[in-house]
């Protein structure tokens, strides 16, 4: 499975004054993910793939208030609590887009984001997930094993090339190891898939993927 990161170049900011003596509440809102169109990384997310995974993410993370994101580009698919800057509070479908809303938290990195907003910085968001890609003539198609780790990390200077539009460590394979995601060799799974007959191929792929996620 590849680490897949996608960037949205701009989000809107909302500041809510809570009354005298109380701090402002900061929110970001905008398109967090898009389907059915080729993005800058040359990838296409089929709508049904994103629908299924966003529904799972909302149920398991957004609704119980544990959908966190980080400041900057993490080097792996795990969300690191010591780097969290915001909590995603909404993620809803709007045509081919998935509109997100996130509250900036009073964490060290959240304070940095608030200062950047106050100073007029231009920020974007980058989704982070894992999955396999199927190369086709016009694009790479994200397959239905896609797993969304976070709908939005906050990134600066989103218009910069390469570092911000190419997935970090996309060439690395990731698997679950004792509940943690680690980069390691997945030759066993690859071998089983390669040995599978054409009739068994999809079944074996699904079985191997479920085995990797069974330690979640």
| pLDDT tens digit sequence for 94-135 | 999 898 999 999 999 999 988 888 888 778 888 888 888 999
Please indicate, yes or no, if residue 180 is contained in any of the structural domains.
no
Please indicate, yes or no, if residue 15 is contained in any of the structural domains.
yes
Q: How far apart are CA 40 and CA 26, in angstroms?
A: 29
| pLDDT at residue 81 in the model | 92
For residue 21, pLDDT over 80 is answered with: no
Please indicate, yes or no, if residue 181 is contained in any of the structural domains.
no
Partners of 155 in the beta sheet?
Answer: 124
pLDDT tens-digit readout, 167-202: 223 345 555 555 555 544 455 666 677 777 877 777
Where does the pLDDT of residue 75 fall: very low under 50, low under 70, confident under 90, or very high at 90 and above?
A: confident
Partners of 65 in the beta sheet?
Answer: none
Please indicate, yes or no, if residue 125 is contained in any of the structural domains.
yes
**Can you tell me the mean pLDDT for 60-86?**
91
Partners of 129 in the beta sheet?
Answer: 4, 148
Partners of 178 in the beta sheet?
Answer: none
- Measuring CA to CA, which residue among 192, 188, 213 is closest to residue 204? 192
Please indicate, yes or no, if residue 197 is contained in any of the structural domains.
no
pTM across the whole model: 0.70
Q: How far apart are CA 147 and CA 81, in angstroms?
A: 19
Per DSSP, 105 falls in state P
- What does pLDDT average to over the chain? 78
Please indicate, yes or no, if residue 176 is contained in any of the structural domains.
no
Which residues belong to the active site?
73, 126
**Can you tell me the mean pLDDT for 42-49?**
92
Name the one residue in this structure whose structure tokens are 């997930």. Answer: 129
**Can you tell me the mean pLDDT for 50-78?**
92
Q: Highest mean pLDDT range out of 20-24, 52-56, 94-98? A: 52-56
Inter-residue long-range contacts of 20-26, CB under 8 Å, 24+ positions, other chains counted = 23/106, 24/114, 25/103, 25/104, 26/103, 26/104, 26/113, 26/114, 26/117
Please indicate, yes or no, if residue 55 is contained in any of the structural domains.
yes
Partners of 143 in the beta sheet?
Answer: none
Domain count, the chain: 1
Please indicate, yes or no, if residue 204 is contained in any of the structural domains.
no
Give the domain extent around 70: 2-168
């Amino acid at each position: 499975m590849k680490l897949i990161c996608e960037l949205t170049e701009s989000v809107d900011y909302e500041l809510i004054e809570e009354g005298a003596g109380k701090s402002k509440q900061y929110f970001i809102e905008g398109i967090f993910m898009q389907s059915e169109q080729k993005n800058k990384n040359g990838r296409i997310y089929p709508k049904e793939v994103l629908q299924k995974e966003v529904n799972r993410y909302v149920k398991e993370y957004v609704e119980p208030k544990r959908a966190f994101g980080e400041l900057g580009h993490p080097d792996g698919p795990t969300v690191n609590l010591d780097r969290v800057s915001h909590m995603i509070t909404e993620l809803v479908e709007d045509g081919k887009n998935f509109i997100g809303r996130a509250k900036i938290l009073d964490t060290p990195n959240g304070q940095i984001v608030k200062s950047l907003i106050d100073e007029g910085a231009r920020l974007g968001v980058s989704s982070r997930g894992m999955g396999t890609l199927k190369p086709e003539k016009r694009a790479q198609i994200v397959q239905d094993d896609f797993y969304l780790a976070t709908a939005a990390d906050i990134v600066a200077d989103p218009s910069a090339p390469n570092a911000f539009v190419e997935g970090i460590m996309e060439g690395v394979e990731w698997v679950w190891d004792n509940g943690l995601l680690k980069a390691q060799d997945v030759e066993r799974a690859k071998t089983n898939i390669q040995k599978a007959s054409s009739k068994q191929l999809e079944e074996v792929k699904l079985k191997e993927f479920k085995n990797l996620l069974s330690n979640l």
